[in-house]
């Protein structure tokens, strides 16, 4: 089964629009005529007409418009083809090393990717949040994800190989019971602590841009590594020793260069150990 690969099949009102039928639309769009599309696919023109008619019946609308110069896709046909091409692209395997992280791990990932680039190894880095990166991992669209919240990662992917990149600690800037929850870092760990200790708190805002924490009057938790990197100032924030936690890498798709990248990331993180 090593050569097995998925294909896109659309479903419209319970009826399947097959991969071959979508290929017919794609060929027609590229060639601009029924005859040219049929030749490109190695089929007869009547068979191509049959494919197009079947797709239109299943889609429930006209997808092809005939002109004096040939045939073209309607706006609905173009929209369907764009979706088909997008899903086809998602299904293509790529041998390029791909890793994902958040603003917390961005610096060490980019440093590691740079070191590999110097050695002739390409690496694509995606920076998002833990939830979005978890989806990339589950869809097997990345080789590895660095998670801010190791417990969250382990709960969702218990069977995957892990590697510790380093540790971090949360800082708390406390101005009252009204809190901002940041879109990165071990926020779940932090607010769980408040819950367990019955410390009054109310989350009234979500902050996604790191530097904006320096412009809020609300209480908040933030990673010490971001302060050391100069991403935020977090003036008045204090170490929360109970919050020391691991930055973990979950390895979801094998790649020959992944071990080297993780080692470089670990080295880059050491300068900012929590």
Condensed to tens digits (0 to 9), the pLDDT of residues 23-77 reads 999 999 999 999 999 999 999 999 999 998 999 999 888 999 987 778 889 999 9
Same domain, residue pair 82 and 207:
no
Range of the domain at 239: 170-243
Same domain, residue pair 239 and 252:
no
- Structure tokens, 162: 């892990």
- Structure tokens, 25: 């639309």
Q: Does 1 map to a domain?
A: no
Same domain, residue pair 143 and 252:
yes
Bridge-partner residues for 248, per DSSP? 147, 164
Q: What is the pTM of this model?
A: 0.81
Same domain, residue pair 158 and 30:
no
Q: Does 5 map to a domain?
A: no
Same domain, residue pair 119 and 80:
no
Q: Give the contacts of 68 (CB within 8 A, at least 6 positions apart).
A: none
Strand order in the sheet with 238-239: 220-223, 170-173, 238-239
Q: Does 113 map to a domain?
A: yes
Overall number of domains in the chain: 3
Q: What is the CATH number of the domain that holds 133?
A: 3.40.190.10
- Which of 111, 147, 156, 115 minimizes the C-alpha distance to 129? 147
Same domain, residue pair 24 and 76:
yes
Q: Does 4 map to a domain?
A: no
CA separation for the pair 133, 138 (Å, rounded): 9
pLDDT digits (tens, 9 = 90+) for 73-115: 999 999 999 999 998 888 887 889 999 999 999 999 999 999 9
- pLDDT > 70: what percent of the chain? 96
């Amino acid at each position: 089964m090593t050569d097995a690969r998925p294909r896109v099949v659309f479903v419209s009102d319970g009826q399947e629009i097959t991969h071959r039928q979508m290929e017919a639309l794609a060929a027609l769009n590229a060639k601009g005529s029924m005859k040219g599309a049929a030749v490109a696919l190695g089929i007869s023109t009547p068979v191509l007409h049959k494919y197009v008619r079947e797709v239109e019946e299943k889609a429930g609308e006209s997808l092809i418009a005939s002109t004096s110069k040939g045939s073209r896709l309607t706006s609905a046909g173009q929209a369907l083809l764009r979706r088909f091409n997008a899903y086809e692209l998602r299904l293509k395997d790529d041998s390029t090393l791909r890793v994902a992280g958040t603003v917390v791990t961005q610096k060490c990932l980019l440093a590691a990717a740079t070191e590999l680039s110097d050695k002739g190894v390409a690496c694509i880095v995606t920076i998002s949040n833990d939830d979005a990166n978890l989806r990339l991992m589950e869809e097997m669209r990345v080789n590895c994800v660095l998670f801010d919240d190791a417990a969250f990662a382990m709960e969702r992917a218990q069977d995957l190989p892990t590697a510790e990149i380093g540790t971090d600690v949360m800082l708390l800037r406390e101005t009252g019971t009204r809190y901002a929850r940041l879109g990165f870092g071990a926020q779940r760990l932090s607010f769980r602590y408040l819950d367990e200790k019955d410390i009054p708190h109310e989350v009234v805002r979500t902050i996604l841009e790191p530097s904006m924490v320096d412009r809020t009057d609300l209480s908040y938790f933030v990673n010490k590594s971001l302060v050391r990197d100069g991403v935020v100032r977090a003036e008045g924030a204090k170490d929360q020793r109970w919050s020391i936690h691991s930055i973990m890498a979950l390895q979801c798709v094998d790649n020959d260069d992944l071990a080297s990248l993780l080692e470089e990331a670990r080295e880059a993180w050491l300068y900012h150990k929590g």
